[in-house]
Structure 1
Amino acid sequence: MIIFIKLLLAHLLGDFIWQPTSWVTHKEANKHKSIYLYLHILLHGFLAVILVGEISFIPYAVFIAVTHGIIDLIKLNFQKNKTKRTWFVVDQISHLLILVGAVLLYQNDNLSFYVFDNRFWILITGIILVTRPTSIFIKTIISIWSPESQNSHQDNSLANAGNYIGILERLFIICFVLTGHFEAIGFLLAAKSIFRFGDLKEAKDRKLTEYVMIGTLISFGIAILIGLIMQYLLLQLL
C-alpha cells in the first residue's frame, strides 16, 4: 500500500505540480514531436525511482514511464476540444491502473532508503492531492457548465484568487477531518456562503450561482473524502 502511495505522489508531482501549462500546450500542438512529451516521460520514471527508493524498482519505473508516454500520446492524438474532459478522466484512470499493476508485480517491500515514517507519505500525498491536482480536476469537470457571464464578474478579483481559496479551504477540511472537528467544516461552508452571497446577489446570474455552488460542493466533497481515506490509512498504522 505504501508503495502505491509513493507512486501516486510521484504521479501527482509529475502530472500536475511539475508539469507547466506551457508543456501541455506544446504537447497538444506538436504531439509526438514535442520534446516536452519525452521530458515528461523521463520525469515520471525518475520520480518513481526516487520516491520508491529502491534500485530494484528501476525496471518497474521504466515500465511506468513508457506506458505513461503511450497513454499520453494516445490522448494527444485522439482528443478533441469537445472530448477533453472525457480523455482527461480516461487518461488519469489508465495511469492509476498502471501504478496498481506495477505495485502488484513488485514483490520487494524492503523500503529502507528513507527514514520517513509511513505516515509521512500518507500525509504529504493527501496534502498534495487536494492542492493543484484537485483544482485541475474540478475545473475540468465543471467546465461544461461554465457560464458565459463568469469572466465579466471577475475583472475586480485578485489573480487566481478563487483557485487559492479553494486550495486553502480543502487544506482546512483535511485538518478538520484528521482532528475530528467535523463541525468546523459546516462553519467553513457557511462562512464561504456568506462571503459569496453578496457577489452572487450583485451578479443576478442564476447560472453563475449554480456554477459556484457545484464547484464548492465538489471541492468540499473531495476534500472530506480524501481526509477520511487519510484518517483510515493512518489508523491502520497504529
Structure 2
Amino acid sequence: MILFIKLILAHLIGDFMLQPLRWVIHKESRKIASGFLYLHIGIHFVLMLLLLWDLSFWKLAAIIAVSHYLIDLAKLYASPWFRNRTIPFLLDQFAHIAVLYCVAFYGNLWEHTQQWIQQLDWALVTALVFVTYPSAIIMGKLLENMSDQIVLDHKSLPNAGKYIGIIERLFVLIFIIMDRWEAIGLLIAAKSVFRFNDLKDSNNRKLTEYILIGTLMSFGFAMLAGLAYTHL
C-alpha cells in the first residue's frame, strides 16, 4: 500500500504542483510537438524515483511514465470532441490512477482488488449515492409546483443550486457519521449568511419560503441517510 501512496503523491506533485498553466496551454496548442509534454513526463519519472528512493524500481517508473505520456496524448487529441472540458480531465485522471494501482499491486492485482471490493462499506456507499443526485431529483419533483411560481430577477450559474445542495448534504452526512451534530448547525448558519443578501435585496416572500423549504428538505434527506447508516 505504501508503494501506491507514494505513486499517488508523485502524480499529485507532478500533475498539479509542477505543471504551470502555460505548459498546459502550450500542450493543448502544439500537442505531440510540445516540448513541455516531454518535460512533464520527465518530471514524473524523476519524482517517482525520488519518492521511491530505490533504483530497482526504475522499470516501474518507466512504465508509468510511458503510460502517462500515452494517456496525456490521448487526452490532448480527444478533448475537442467534448463540449464539457471536465469530462476529458476526469477520464485522464482516472486512467492515471488506474495505471498506478495496477503497477503498485501487479503481483497480486486480482486478489487485492477482490479483497478491496469485499471490504467496502456498501451501506456507506449507498448513503453517499443517495444524498447526491437521487436526493436532488426527488427534491426537484417535490418542489416542482413551487418552483413554477418563482420569478427570478437575476441570473445564476447553471445547476449551481443542485451542486450546492449535493455538497451540503455530503457534509451533513459526514458530520452525522462523525457524530458532530454541532457542525451541522454551523453549516446552516453559514448558508443563511450567504443567502441573506439575496433574500433581502429581492424582497420576495415566495422565494424566501421556497429556499427555506428546499434547505430544510435537503438537510432532512441527509439526516435521514446519516441516521439510517449509523443505526443499520
TM class by smaller structure: 0.5 to 0.7
1:186 and 1:52, CA in 2 relative to 1: closer, same or farther beyond 3 A?
A: farther
Aligned to 1:86: 87
Aligned length: 147
Matches within 5 A, 1:20-169: 20-80=20-80, 82-105=83-106, 149=155
Cα distance in 2 for partners of 1:2, 1:183 equals: 34
Contact 1:31–1:77 under 8 Å retained in 2: yes
Cα distance in 1 for partners of 2:201, 2:9 equals: 40
Cα distance in 2 for partners of 1:75, 1:32 equals: 11
User: Per-residue deviation at 1:83?
Assistant: 4.2
Q: Secondary structure at the match of 2:105?
A: helix
Cα distance in 1 for partners of 2:77, 2:98 equals: 21
Q: Which has the larger radius of gyration?
A: 2
User: Per-residue deviation at 1:106?
Assistant: 6.4
Q: Secondary structure at the match of 2:28?
A: helix
Output the amino acid matched with 2:90.
Answer: V
Q: Secondary structure at the match of 1:82?
A: coil
Cα distance in 2 for partners of 1:185, 1:4 equals: 33
Cα distance in 1 for partners of 2:189, 2:155 equals: 25
Output the amino acid matched with 1:86.
Answer: I
Matches within 5 A, 1:192-231: 192-201=190-199
Output the amino acid matched with 1:42.
Answer: G
What fraction of aligned residue pairs are identical, expressed as a percent? 35
User: Per-residue deviation at 1:85?
Assistant: 2.1
1:89 and 1:188, CA in 2 relative to 1: closer, same or farther beyond 3 A?
A: same
Cα distance in 2 for partners of 1:35, 1:150 equals: 40
Cα distance in 2 for partners of 1:34, 1:58 equals: 25
Matches within 5 A, 1:150-189: 182-189=180-187
Contact 1:79–1:87 under 8 Å retained in 2: yes
1:12 and 1:150, CA in 2 relative to 1: closer, same or farther beyond 3 A?
A: farther
By relative contact order (CA 8 Å, sep 6+), the higher-ranking structure is 1
1:190 and 1:36, CA in 2 relative to 1: closer, same or farther beyond 3 A?
A: same
Superposed CA deviations along residues 41-91 of structure 1, whole A, max 9, x for unmatched, are 111111111112221111111111111011000010111250422211211
Cα distance in 2 for partners of 1:187, 1:69 equals: 47
CA RMSD of the aligned region, Å? 3.5
Cα distance in 2 for partners of 1:106, 1:52 equals: 17
Q: Which runs of 5+ in 2 are unaligned?
A: 109-153, 158-170, 223-232
1:83 and 1:197, CA in 2 relative to 1: closer, same or farther beyond 3 A?
A: closer
TM norm structure 2:
0.53
1:202 and 1:29, CA in 2 relative to 1: closer, same or farther beyond 3 A?
A: farther
